[in-house]
Chains A and B, each alone.
Chain A
């Protein structure tokens, strides 16, 4: 009888669980959960990054037209070394000029560097992990949907006509040295270039329901192409596999630092 009763209970659970499909998902966050604002502030060394503006850096004049990269798998690590993986964390960070397309549907100019994460369990956190790029499962199947992953924003390979997958990062613009001026496009992709970055926070990040906490990261764009000479090889993409892995490695090890935690 006990067995049958528990069977009924299980059935009841199953029935309620499965018939909820049309209802808004119940937010079953722990009672104490808080919000975290994660900002990826693009900089050029000590200058703030901006599009369509000349920057003089080590003898060259740089003018950027696009900075975009996917951030995924955001993880917070608490003082007990326990990891909290933010669900569905796939975000497109970008500074982008409006782009013409082959249709009346323009891609609008956009600047987005802040990600708001809700439902973070209250507690003290000491480190942050995230990846630049799109994890293999989603990179191999463009029809799967999660987070902000989308084919509509030009961050898939279809412009590459190469492997049908996501473009992990893209930095475009013009660089001038003396009389010479070249347009450059530095893109990364490929599962092997999916990189995870772990940053220790300079101060404890306290998450509570009382306020929105924040982490301010700096993304130093001067580091993206470090080790490459864009004057002589201005295109990094499908055909430049080793340059592409240099850029991916730069994102992994040099581009991001934590500026502040509040």
Chain B
């Protein structure tokens, strides 16, 4: 066989191959049923993203997840959505220490975490890491009596009443509506909540016209020196668990060990009082702070690290000074500088941009 013929054959094979694994011949698929694979762009300096193999991202899946995220049908009383406690205007946090807007009206025991750069959160979700992935995590707020309290059978039934959802689930998952697809779509949307366009990022990338004030520069140096062991890398979190000295008594076993930190998940004594490091990105938009929201301002957080650290066996040794005293020495000028720097990690558009905000608002227009 001649070279060119061979080439044609190879080409034919490639065409066949690329076409063979789609559900139908490409030409026959109407535009509205096409699925477009999507990859999250890894911002400069960020670690690579391990793809979620069991739930690959598609543009259509993300769009469906976004609709569901903002849809009050997801709650049993049809009054609250994911966004009720993960408000895009607050970088997907809720601005209160412990929410009480759930179905029961009971106050939660944990502070609603901000949803930022979750595509990299591969070391457990929740403050204690009790969920291994975003998909599983979503079942907890959906079902909890103190949160959305949705019966999953009813959820499927309610969503099936909406023709647009029926079509979208069919398109994205080639299946009828099931709760497992609801959490998969939500997880797809959540993975697209990337924050990497703050002034800090433009400064790092030496964008023209971007500079730091002397105070912000001092703050950056101080953060690098004193905070980056845990708030590490460009994610500004190690996605790990630490006891940062909030408490020193973990004998309260109430609520299935809720006050014992990651110990309730791992059963390792070394995990008593440990909670997940939150990112510092958008941190000035996500007050109050800590797993139970007990510190209302960023100033209080810095005061805690300076003179409030309590010691226990599991308190992170990084919080000790060279002479063994607990706490991170910081003058008030240094604290001010740190706060000035943290302001550069704010991305005002994060949450409220056209790809992340409430899509139902667009329909109303």
Give me the interface of A with B, judged by CB distance under 8 Å. 1, 4, 7-8, 11, 14-15, 17-19, 21-22, 101-105, 140-145, 151-152, 156-165, 237-239, 241
A152 touches B179 (CB 8 A): yes
- Whole-angstrom distance between the Cβ of A175 and the nearest chain B Cβ: 22
B132 touches A140 (CB 8 A): yes
- Residues of B1-60 at the interface with A, using a CB-CB cut-off of 8 Å, are 1, 6, 9, 13, 16-17, 20-21, 23, 54-55
- Whole-angstrom distance between the Cβ of B359 and the nearest chain A Cβ: 22
Partner of A143 from B1, B9, B183 at Cβ < 8 Å: B183
Residues of A within 8 A of B264 (CB): 162, 238-239
Residues of A within 8 A of B6 (CB): 4
A102 touches B145 (CB 8 A): yes
- Whole-angstrom distance between the Cβ of A245 and the nearest chain B Cβ: 10
Q: Mark B109-134, 1 if CB is under 8 A from A, else 0.
A: 00000000000000000000011110
- Between-chain CB contacts (< 8 Å), 19 pairs: A14-B17, A14-B20, A18-B20, A18-B21, A21-B23, A102-B145, A102-B151, A140-B132, A140-B133, A140-B136, A141-B132, A142-B183, A144-B54, A151-B179, A151-B180, A162-B264, A165-B136, A239-B256, A241-B267
- Whole-angstrom distance between the Cβ of B21 and the nearest chain A Cβ: 4
Partner of B154 from A104, A159, A164 at Cβ < 8 Å: A104
Main secondary structure, interface of B, reads helix
Q: A8-B9, A19-B20, A144-B54 are in contact. List 17 more A-B contacts (CB 8 A).
A: A1-B1, A4-B1, A11-B20, A14-B21, A22-B23, A102-B76, A102-B149, A141-B133, A143-B55, A144-B180, A151-B180, A152-B152, A158-B144, A159-B143, A162-B265, A164-B137, A164-B139
B145 touches A145 (CB 8 A): no
Residues of B within 8 A of A102 (CB): 76, 103, 145, 149, 151
Residue in B132, B187, B265 with the greatest tally of chain A CB atoms within 10 Å: B132
Interface residues of B, CB < 8 Å — how many?
44
Residues of A within 8 A of B9 (CB): 4, 7-8
Residue in chain A with minimal CB distance to B255: A161
Residue in chain B with minimal CB distance to A242: B267
Residues of B within 8 A of A158 (CB): 139-140, 142-144
Instruction: Tell me if B253 counts as interface (CB < 8 A to partner A).
Output: yes
A163 touches B20 (CB 8 A): no
Give me the interface of B with A, judged by CB distance under 8 Å. 1, 6, 9, 13, 16-17, 20-21, 23, 54-55, 76, 103, 130-133, 135-137, 139-140, 142-145, 149, 151-154, 157, 179-180, 183-184, 187, 253, 255-257, 264-265, 267
Taken together as a complex, chains A and B put the C-alpha atoms of A47 and B17 apart, in Å, by: 61
6 nearest A-B pairs in the assembled complex, by CB-CB distance: A143-B135, A103-B151, A158-B143, A164-B136, A140-B132, A164-B131
Residues of B within 8 A of A159 (CB): 143
- Whole-angstrom distance between the Cβ of B16 and the nearest chain A Cβ: 5
Known A102-B145, A105-B151, A158-B140; contact A237-B256, beta-carbon cutoff 8 A: yes
Residues of B within 8 A of A21 (CB): 23
A103 touches B136 (CB 8 A): no
Residues of B within 8 A of A145 (CB): 180
Residue in chain B with minimal CB distance to A241: B267
Residues of B within 8 A of A164 (CB): 130-132, 136-137, 139-140
